[in-house]
Amino acid sequence: ATMDDGLRVALKRIKPRVRELRAYTLRSERAPIKVNQNENPFDAPERIKREALRRFERRAWSRYPDFVPVELRRKLAAFAGWDEEGIIVGNGSNELIQATMMVTLGEGRRALLSEPTFALYRQIATVLGADVLSVPLTERLTFDVAALRRAIEREDPDLTIICSPNNPTGGVIEEDDLVRLLEKASGLIVVDEAYFEFAERSAANLLRAHPNLIVFRTFSKAMAMAGWRVGYALAAPEIAREIGKAVLPYNLNAFSQIAAEVALEMYDAELLPLVQALIRERERLFEALQEISGLSPVPSKANFILVRSRIEPRRVYDELLRRGILIRDVSGYPMLADCFRVSVGRPEENDLLIEALREIFARS
Ligand code: PMP
């Protein structure tokens, strides 16, 4: 048998549903202004870096991290106002999405999504063999709460995921709407709060009254630590214990644990002012985009803005890249064929983005 035959035979053992999936990847392009991944454009403050580096140096590199990162969990409990036993940390919140799906989804199980949303949910649920049910956002790209309620009632999903603020649209779910979903559902409801710091609201206060609620968060956005891969989940301790069974031992390396601890210690002094600056920049950028003929930004509570564009998103992407600005073309998502997404950058980056878009759309 030739190599090709062997390969064909081997590939047959990959689950058909996996082979039909398109991989979740991102072309790695570089540009001086990078507003394609909703990162914190300010980077981690010097004081945080210096203190973390000092602690890295003192730590024995030969030793495993804690089995359960007790110290980090204690700090997260204080930060989030939730019980230590109900907190799980992950290698990015992506890992916790995966672990939660591993313990809830599989053949014959159902996940309910409100789409368009973060593509990873559908990706992992599909790999696991679950049926993915989808409720579209409204025409205005807000959550269709009535339709979600009906879907929950009709389909009784094992897991429902609400991303709030929603990536890539930026909208949030209202608290009373969420409560109505939580009351209707006997399945678990995840609220992915990757961007909650920019919305200045959280569903965490509903945890006590709703044991079917799980809140996911990350250090990748407001905390300016996407490179260190730290995420966490808040849930009833009994639920957290079950999700923990699908998380690998030592999933969070010792450096990341230390960096996350320092970020929490210094959040109010060092990071909160940056978050507040980004919120102000988001509002300024939104107004500037609104004034460009041919563009229509969607109101956002996150650190990014979805923009409807008269010019084809791919062309806007290329034109901006030529000017050193990397945005995200999201036109492949359902309902978003005329859209691109920009993260809120530093003030001078936003100025350059606005200037470049004015130029591109003036010529159209
Ligand atoms: N959830 C949402 C909604 C996101 O947009 C992202 C980042 N793109 C993540 C989770 C992943 O975060 P992490 O870096 O913590 O894995």
**Sequence-separated (6 or more) residues with CB below 8 Å from residue 290:** 296, 297
Is the Cβ atom of 220 under 6 angstroms away from ligand 1?
A: yes
Average per-residue pLDDT in the chain? 96
For ligand 1, whether the C-beta of 226 sits within 6 Å is yes
Determine the atom of ligand 1 nearest the C-alpha atom of 117. Answer: 3
d(CA 40, CA 42): 6
Q: Report the distance separating Cα 42 and Cα 27, nearest Å.
A: 23
Residue 169 pLDDT > 80: yes
Residue of 333, 311, 314 lying closest to 322 (CA atoms): 314
98 in ligand 1 pocket by Cβ < 6 Å? no
Containing H/E element for 153? Answer: helix 145-155
Is the reported ipTM for this assembly greater than 0.85? yes
Q: What's the sign of the alpha-carbon dihedral 110, 111, 113, 118? A: negative
Residues 104-151 have pLDDT tens digits of: 999 999 999 999 999 999 999 999 999 999 999 999 999 999 999 999
- Using the mean position of ligand 1's atoms as its centre, give its distance from the Cα of residue 142 in Å: 20
pLDDT per position as a tens digit, 72-94: 999 999 999 999 999 999 999 99
Q: Which of 17-21, 72-76, 243-247, 316-320 has the lowest mean pLDDT?
A: 17-21
Confidence tier at 1 by pLDDT (50, 70, 90): low
358 CA to centre of ligand 1 in angstroms: 30
Instruction: Kindly give the distance from the C-alpha atom of residue 48 to the centroid of ligand 1, in angstroms, as a whole number.
Output: 22
How many angstroms does the Cα of residue 25 sit away from the middle of ligand 1? 13
Interval 230-278: pLDDT, tens? 999 999 999 999 999 999 989 999 999 999 999 999 999 999 999 999 9
Averaged pLDDT, 277-281 = 98
Q: What order of strands is seen across the sheet that includes strand 339-343?
A: 295-297, 304-309, 339-343, 328-329
Q: Determine the atom of ligand 1 nearest the C-alpha atom of 37.
A: 8
pLDDT for res 292: 98
Question: Ligand 1 atom 8: the closest Cα is on which residue?
Answer: 37
Q: How far is the CA of 68 from the centre of ligand 1 (A)?
A: 22
Domains of the chain: 26-44+269-362 (3.90.1150.10), 46-265 (3.40.640.10)
Burial of 86 (0-12, 13-18, 19+ CB in 10 A): buried
User: Cis link prior to 165 (omega < 30° from 0)?
Assistant: yes
pLDDT range class, residue 22, cuts 50, 70, 90: confident
**Sole residue written with tokens 């290329």:** 318
Atom 2, ligand 1: which residue's CA is nearest? Answer: 194
End-to-end alpha-carbon separation of the chain, Å? 57
CA atoms within 13 A on the CB side of 326: 15
Q: What percent of the chain has pLDDT over 90?
A: 94
Kindly report the CA angle at 354 between 352 and 359, in degrees rounded to 5?
95
Atom of ligand 1 nearest to the CA of 95: 16
Tens-digit pLDDT profile for residues 26-77: 777 899 999 999 999 999 999 999 999 999 999 999 999 988 899 999 999 9
The residue contributing the CA closest to ligand 1 atom 5 is: 167
Q: Is the CB of 93 under 6 A from ligand 1?
A: yes
User: Which residues are CB-neighbours of 249 under 8 A, at least 6 positions away?
Assistant: 67
Q: Are 260 and 225 in contact (CB under 8 A)?
A: yes
For ligand 1, whether the C-beta of 198 sits within 6 Å is no
CA distances (Å), origin 202, targets 76, 154, 178, 195, 360: 15, 28, 11, 10, 38
Query: How many CB atoms within 10 Å of residue 267?
Result: 17
Query: 163 C-alpha to center of ligand 1: Å?
Result: 10
Using a 6 Å cutoff on CB, does residue 349 contact ligand 1? Answer: no
